[in-house]
Chains A and B, each alone.
Chain A
Amino acid sequence: MDADPGRPATPGRLPRHEVPPAHLVPLARGDGDPATLEWLRSAERSRRLMLLRALSDALARHRPPAGPLGPDGSAWELLTRAEKRAPDAVDAVLMHPPTGTWLALVLRRLRGTAPDEAPLWAVLGHLGALAAAAGVRAGLDFDVAVPARHGSVPLPTLGCAVLPGADHEPWAAARVRAAGGRVRVEGSRRAVPLPAEPGDDAPGWQALRRVTVGPVGLRLELALDDLDPYRAYPRPTEPSRLSDQALSHWRRLLAQAWTVLLRDEPQTAAALRRGLTSLTPTRPGERFRPHSMTVGDAFGGIVASEPDDAVQLAVTLVHEFQHTKLGGLLHLAPLCTTGPDAEAELFYAPWRDDPRPLEGLLQGIYAFAGVTRFWHAHRRADDPDTAALAQFEFALWRAQVGHTLRTVHRHERLTPLGLRFLDLLDRRCAAWSDEPVPAALSELARAAGANHRARWRAHHLRPAAPAVDAAVSAWRGGADRPPAALAAEPALVPDLAARRLDSVATLARHRLGDRGGPAPARVAGAVPGDTHLAGGHRTAAARAYLAQLAADPCHVAAWAGLGCALDSGDGDATHRRAARLLGRHPERALAVQRALLAATGRPADPLGLAAWLGAGPAGTP
């Protein structure tokens, strides 16, 4: 729809948005200028209009019970009336990121493919809130029914009325009435007048906060949305007003992050100005472990935890904006095919604890290509506070993205567009491969990456039970090497208990980013050996991992860490064999140790077992 306003549609056929090379190429290289973002936004607008039409059709077909809001068709009428008076008013509401999330959710609810967590009438009734917001923006007189949740009545893009009292129903009906420029939100017993300027807070009214940062001509303007019920995923969320202190903190960090982006990533900043319109703040995560999220349906919006500092926020904006761009492209054309077995094929993703399907892996590759680009540029910023960290992050993500790209870049499920997309991205990433990184930081990044991979394998990969049993028998019988069957491809069995597999990388960030500061009291998921490994002390790390295995012979992180600690090229042949086995196949050592313990009640010496398992097939050293 609206694909090319200058090109007439074929009669009886809807015009479609195309994917022209002028936009595909920069996007596939990880970039995208304001014109590309405008093209994506135009396609998103068409998509949302189509979803509204789909909703209208579904309601006409199914006629769900009206609920407390009553059989009120005035929302549709109000929306179209507002569009005639002020098209921009409806566009602002339509393109508000949470509106996209709501549209998708309400349609899934009607199709029975989303859980019933909020009453359907309240989810459907959000259309009234959108219409009311458009009506207020257009300056119309109207009267429309809207849902209230615990007395809160959101008007998307404007703010949220909070009806007085403390005895509100979880869900109830309210009305928004506008006449002669005055707007009131009315509950069953009480009402709240909107201020003349809805952008300002007033008694009973919480305005949607907007943040503007940067110099004239290079400003970033976005909503800091702590109010909209569809600002997060996957269910409607109550307002969670930021304190004044937290708001100031966010404003300050956004201003600083924007300065960083204008200096280090001016092209990305230019695209962000067109493509990012809303940020939903959440509580801070653990230091160096921020949370963030992008929902494809909410084009233009991101969710992010309160960052540690401006540079972390800058890289989060870059990361999530990559998802925004790719999500927009995927709404136009798929990069891979789907099928009944598609979700069964899972991959290692170096940025996740859990195995990922191809679709999710592609999102991660694209996002971390952007992260690599950010750190590549930031290394040159000569920022003494982040210089070492930037080198580490660049080396880590360059390697991780490159490795993951090579894993899937000719995958049979990729569409022609997907193949071209990954080829272009691969070429962009390959250009970073020769960039020098100080040896110590490169080595630290390698250790952190290897440790994550080893822990992931130990958690999620399972050698076949008969092969493990045969290995136990061979070990107990004094064989000089394990059975060949143990080398077969292990099964991937997702371990839902796998958490915080990035603890060595996180400890490295503490070391590099908190210069001179005390060692972190606790990094979730880290074991004592990890601290030594992140500090570059492999011998101490090996000692600590072995001590941990003496206390807990099947400790996953200790087995994985031991391989990394031994991986220095030093030591005797036993060490080298153990290092090789644990670096590549820690899951074998863990599985055999578990089976030995179950069979005999006594664990094997970890180094001896790993070295034995590391002996190759008969005839090899």
Chain B
Amino acid sequence: MSLEAVLCLDGTVLAAPLADLLQRIDHPQVSASGVSNPEDSS
């Protein structure tokens, strides 16, 4: 699927997957090795 097609998709079709995606975005997975800084890991 192209970017243009995605930008034109019906919002109602996208509502549920986008909501799920955005919720996950708020919890980034960061895997750090060799550091102990809590900021560097999830």
Closest 9 interchain pairs by CB? Answer: A296-B29, A291-B34, A323-B31, A353-B36, A49-B6, A293-B32, A113-B26, A80-B4, A363-B31
Binary contact readout A294-307 vs B (1 if CB under 8 angstroms, 0 otherwise): 11110000000100
Give chain A nearest CB distance to B30 CB in angstroms.
5
- Interchain CB contact under 8 A, B1 and A57: no
Question: From B4, which residue of chain A is reached at the shortest CB distance?
Answer: A80
Binds B, one of A103-111, A150-158, A378-386: A103-111
A84–B11 CA distance with the chains assembled, in angstroms: 23
Give chain B nearest CB distance to A559 CB in angstroms.
20
A266: Cβ under 8 A from any B Cβ: no
- Interchain CB contact under 8 A, A111 and B26: yes
Q: Which of B11, B13, B30 is within 8 Å of A13, CB to CB? A: B13
Contacts of B1 in A (CB 8 A): 1-2, 46, 49
Q: A50-B18, A50-B21 are in contact. List 15 more A-B contacts (CB 8 A).
A: A2-B1, A12-B12, A14-B14, A47-B21, A52-B7, A104-B28, A107-B22, A108-B26, A233-B30, A295-B29, A297-B28, A319-B33, A327-B29, A367-B33, A498-B36
- Interchain CB contact under 8 A, A50 and B6: yes
- Interchain CB contact under 8 A, A80 and B3: yes
Q: Tell me whether A360 and B34 are in contact in the complex, defined as CB-CB below 8 angstroms, given that A14-B17, A53-B6 are known contacts.
A: no
Contacts of A364 in B (CB 8 A): 31
Give chain B nearest CB distance to A431 CB in angstroms.
25
A51: Cβ under 8 A from any B Cβ: yes
A548: Cβ under 8 A from any B Cβ: no
A299–B41 CA distance with the chains assembled, in angstroms: 16
Contacts of B31 in A (CB 8 A): 293-294, 296, 320, 323, 327, 360, 363-364, 367
Give chain A interface residues in 263-308, CB to chain B under 8 Å. 285, 289-297, 305
A359: Cβ under 8 A from any B Cβ: yes
- Pairs A–B under 8 Å by Cβ, sample size 16: A50-B14, A52-B6, A53-B18, A54-B22, A94-B3, A104-B25, A233-B40, A234-B39, A234-B40, A293-B30, A294-B30, A295-B28, A296-B29, A320-B31, A323-B31, A330-B29
A330–B4 CA distance with the chains assembled, in angstroms: 26
A481–B22 CA distance with the chains assembled, in angstroms: 56
Most buried by B among A94, A233, A496: A233
- Interchain CB contact under 8 A, A79 and B25: no
- Interchain CB contact under 8 A, A354 and B33: no
Give chain A nearest CB distance to B27 CB in angstroms.
8
Contacts of B13 in A (CB 8 A): 12-14
A40–B40 CA distance with the chains assembled, in angstroms: 24
- Interchain CB contact under 8 A, A50 and B34: no
Contacts of A90 in B (CB 8 A): 3
Q: Which of A83, A289, A293, A327 is within 8 Å of B4, CB to CB? A: A83
- Interchain CB contact under 8 A, B38 and A496: yes
| A-B Cβ contacts below 8 A, count | 131
Question: From B36, which residue of chain A is reached at the shortest CB distance?
Answer: A353
Q: Tell me whether A54 and B30 are in contact in the complex, defined as CB-CB below 8 angstroms, given that A83-B2, A353-B36, A498-B36 are known contacts.
A: no
A360–B18 CA distance with the chains assembled, in angstroms: 24
Question: From B16, which residue of chain A is reached at the shortest CB distance?
Answer: A14
Contacts of B39 in A (CB 8 A): 234
- Interchain CB contact under 8 A, A83 and B32: no
Q: Tell me whether A295 and B35 are in contact in the complex, defined as CB-CB below 8 angstroms, given that A14-B14, A51-B25 are known contacts.
A: no
Chain B interface (Cβ within 8 Å of chain A)?
1-4, 6-7, 9-14, 17-18, 21-22, 24-36, 38-42
Most buried by B among A2, A14, A94, A353: A14
- Interchain CB contact under 8 A, A56 and B7: yes
Give chain A interface residues in 1-60, CB to chain B under 8 Å. 1-2, 12-14, 16, 46-47, 49-54, 56-57
Binary contact readout A348-368 vs B (1 if CB under 8 angstroms, 0 otherwise): 000111101101100110010
Q: Which of A83, A291, A296 is within 8 Å of B30, CB to CB? A: A296
A198: Cβ under 8 A from any B Cβ: no
Most buried by A among B9, B10, B13, B22: B22
Give chain A interface residues in 220-270, CB to chain B under 8 Å. 233-234
Q: Tell me whether A83 and B3 are in contact in the complex, defined as CB-CB below 8 angstroms, given that A292-B33, A354-B38 are known contacts.
A: yes
A290–B33 CA distance with the chains assembled, in angstroms: 8
- Interchain CB contact under 8 A, A291 and B35: yes
Give chain B nearest CB distance to A151 CB in angstroms.
28
Contacts of A319 in B (CB 8 A): 33
Question: From B27, which residue of chain A is reached at the shortest CB distance?
Answer: A338
- Interchain CB contact under 8 A, A108 and B25: yes
- Interchain CB contact under 8 A, A290 and B34: yes
Question: From B33, which residue of chain A is reached at the shortest CB distance?
Answer: A292
Q: Which of B22, B26, B33, B36 is within 8 Å of A293, CB to CB? A: B33
A219: Cβ under 8 A from any B Cβ: no
Q: Which of B17, B30, B40 is within 8 Å of A50, CB to CB? A: B17
A584: Cβ under 8 A from any B Cβ: no
Contacts of B6 in A (CB 8 A): 1, 49-50, 52-53
A420: Cβ under 8 A from any B Cβ: no
Q: Tell me whether A53 and B14 are in contact in the complex, defined as CB-CB below 8 angstroms, given that A80-B3, A80-B7, A83-B2 are known contacts.
A: yes
- Interchain CB contact under 8 A, B34 and A285: yes
A295–B17 CA distance with the chains assembled, in angstroms: 22
A490: Cβ under 8 A from any B Cβ: no
A100–B39 CA distance with the chains assembled, in angstroms: 19
A134–B21 CA distance with the chains assembled, in angstroms: 25
Q: Which of B26, B36, B41 is within 8 Å of A360, CB to CB? A: B41
- Interchain CB contact under 8 A, B21 and A51: yes
A107–B27 CA distance with the chains assembled, in angstroms: 12
Contacts of A616 in B (CB 8 A): none
A14–B9 CA distance with the chains assembled, in angstroms: 9
- Interchain CB contact under 8 A, B4 and A359: no
Give chain A nearest CB distance to B28 CB in angstroms.
6
Give chain A interface residues in 522-563, CB to chain B under 8 Å. none
A545–B5 CA distance with the chains assembled, in angstroms: 67
Q: Tell me whether A291 and B32 are in contact in the complex, defined as CB-CB below 8 angstroms, given that A14-B13, A90-B3, A234-B39 are known contacts.
A: yes
A116–B7 CA distance with the chains assembled, in angstroms: 27
- Interchain CB contact under 8 A, B26 and A54: no
Binary contact readout A76-91 vs B (1 if CB under 8 angstroms, 0 otherwise): 1001100110010010
